[in-house]
Structure 1
Amino acid sequence: MARDSGGRRDPHGTGLTPVDPARPVAPYVGGKRNLARRLIALIEATPHTTYIEPFVGMGGVFLRRRSRPACEIINDLSGDVANLFRCMRAHPDALVAAVEMQLQTRSDFDRHQRQDPTLLTDIQRAARFLYLQKVAFGGMVTGREFGMSRDRPSRFRPSQVRETVRAAAARLDGVIIEQLPWSDCIARYDRAGALFYLDPPYFGCEASYGADLFGRDQFAAMADQLGRLKGRFILSLNDRPEVREIFAAFDIEATDTHYGLAPGRARPAREVIITGGG
């Protein structure tokens, strides 16, 4: 069994350095909590010197990983997502202070919904986005609804925000944060030794993350670009005949999972893990 320079174990001999994982700071539609362990095991078993996520979202896979290569890049075209990660890394205490002043009330939720985030400071924008994602039902981004329960504590607990933001800030040390279209991100960082994990919107749910961020026609463009990749990739999507047809040139493995926004109400589902590259 190989070890890193600090004497810690590297179980796959991939040259990765162990790192303390963190939790996503808020829910996010399409989060990979149920598949994260399997995806992370596949990532860690794939030798790579650079790791890139073109659709980082709330970091459901990225933050939960337990090892890292020398270079890591996270990317999301969403201005709210990119700004949140930048503020968590550079100004975690200021972000926590701004979020801790909020209350989970319907009036506050509605007020934040009406705000134009582009008119806020970076910290205010990050605090607004984090608050909305914590409070919104199911971590929805478009069509958010106020989340509440008659039998559980509030979804929004400032003490938990402080803990998760600080852990995420520590994990983001040295990470490159981009806000590029996914195709530009791949083109910029593709090389031998690169590993991309892609978690695009589900097929049929392309508008769930905001208008004009991703269109259904981009799946075919993605398959074409991945077919010319110098590095390697891991792609997760919902199991649809259209997905299997578009990505038929690569290795496709089905996996069982479940979807559900409320505890005890999850329904069985199937996703595919698609792999390939140079």
Structure 2
Amino acid sequence: MTPKPQPIVPWMGGKRRLAKHLLPLFPEHSCYVELFAGGAALFFMRPQPAKCEVLNDLNGQLVNLYRVVQHHFDEFVRQFEWTLTSREVFTRLQSIPPDVMTDIQRAARFFYLQHTAFGGKTVDQHFGTATTARGFTAANIEGRLKAAQQRLNGVYIENEPWEKCFKRYDREHTFFYADPPYWQLAGYDRSFDWAQYELLAEAMAHSRGKIMLSINDHPDIRELFKDFCIKRLELAYSVGRDKTQKTSGELVICNY
């Protein structure tokens, strides 16, 4: 049995755990666009691909990884022969400027750092450890990523501001999934000011296609997007050694 494709890298704010709630809400469409792709959990986990698919993100290292896995898979896999899960390797790779590496080396560096950094963060990374699970293993990377590589076949990979990507692909048959940085939460590699959320609301109001927005539940967000369909999802989580289950509110906002 061919394994199902899974997201390639851990990602802060990734939607892997919410996929079972979000995917059934997708409307009918033939063009699927993720404006803030990140780890692209919904793209990889959706049961059937769309006729046309687009992954867009401003993070050039992430976009380079997708393109390398898409077009140079075998050489990418070879980068991990004899690779160890090591704080020393992590620190050494962090210290190497990506612009002195080839695209394949940069992709492997980014992949390793994302898998060994705490919390899937792309900024302020530090080596992550645990006492309840194995660390990153290079064994059988080819087998683990082959389904993802096949899933990326024929997908457009864009590296531009979300609004430019939106204008490029906005059609009646297009469905946009937008997962921008959360309002007033730290830890993202780029600022996303209030004007950007206002621009998103304007795009949703005037889009030719359909748009789903995932965002944290905040009074400012509820007020800005009050004219759209809003659904709240509850996500249970625990922090560190505290096993007490807590909940976090996630809003799903649609213009359809």
TM-score over 0.5 for the pair: yes
Q: Secondary structure at the match of 2:166?
A: helix
1:276 CA drift (Å):
0.5
The correspondence for 2:153, drawn from 143, 150, 173, is 173
CA change 1:258–1:77 in 2 (3 A) is: same
Matched, 1:24 2:7: yes
Determine the structure 2 residue equivalent to 1:60: 41
Q: Give 1:1-278 correspondences, 5 Å limit.
A: 21-43=4-26, 46-154=27-135, 156-205=136-185, 208-212=187-191, 214-260=192-238, 262=240, 264=243, 267-276=246-255
- Whole-Å separation in 2 of the counterparts to 1:61 and 1:192: 21
- Whole-Å separation in 1 of the counterparts to 2:158 and 2:3: 22
- Whole-Å separation in 2 of the counterparts to 1:261 and 1:118: 36
- Whole-Å separation in 2 of the counterparts to 1:267 and 1:115: 39
- Whole-Å separation in 2 of the counterparts to 1:199 and 1:147: 25
Q: Is the 8 A contact 1:239 1:271 kept in 2?
A: yes
- Which residue type is aligned with residue 7 of structure 2? P
User: What TM-score, normalized by structure 2, do the two folds share?
Assistant: 0.93
Over the matched positions of the two proteins, sequence identity in percent amounts to 37
Number of aligned positions between the proteins: 254
- Whole-Å separation in 1 of the counterparts to 2:240 and 2:151: 29
1:68 CA drift (Å):
1.8
- Whole-Å separation in 2 of the counterparts to 1:176 and 1:57: 15
Which deviations, in whole Å up to 9, do the C-alpha atoms of 1:124-165 show, x marking residues without a partner? 1110110001000111111111111234222x1112532232
Q: Secondary structure at the match of 1:123?
A: helix
- Which residue type is aligned with residue 32 of structure 1? K
CA change 1:237–1:98 in 2 (3 A) is: same
Q: Is the 8 A contact 2:34 2:40 kept in 1?
A: no
1:216 CA drift (Å):
3.7
- Which residue type is aligned with residue 219 of structure 1? Y
1:262 CA drift (Å):
5.0
1:102 CA drift (Å):
2.5
* Unaligned ranges ≥5, structure 2: none
Q: Is the 8 A contact 1:236 1:272 kept in 2?
A: yes
- Whole-Å separation in 1 of the counterparts to 2:6 and 2:159: 22
Q: Is the 8 A contact 2:29 2:174 kept in 1?
A: yes
1:204 CA drift (Å):
1.4
- Which residue type is aligned with residue 8 of structure 2? V
Q: Is the 8 A contact 1:204 1:216 kept in 2?
A: no
Root-mean-square deviation over aligned CA pairs? 1.9
- Whole-Å separation in 2 of the counterparts to 1:71 and 1:228: 22
Q: Is the 8 A contact 1:203 1:238 kept in 2?
A: yes
- Which residue type is aligned with residue 11 of structure 2? Y
CA change 1:176–1:145 in 2 (3 A) is: same
CA change 1:114–1:58 in 2 (3 A) is: same
- Which residue type is aligned with residue 120 of structure 1? M
- Whole-Å separation in 1 of the counterparts to 2:23 and 2:3: 14
* Unaligned ranges ≥5, structure 1: 1-18
Q: Secondary structure at the match of 2:187?
A: helix
1:266 CA drift (Å):
5.4
User: What TM-score, normalized by structure 1, do the two folds share?
Assistant: 0.86
Q: Secondary structure at the match of 1:131?
A: helix
Q: Is the 8 A contact 1:201 1:208 kept in 2?
A: no
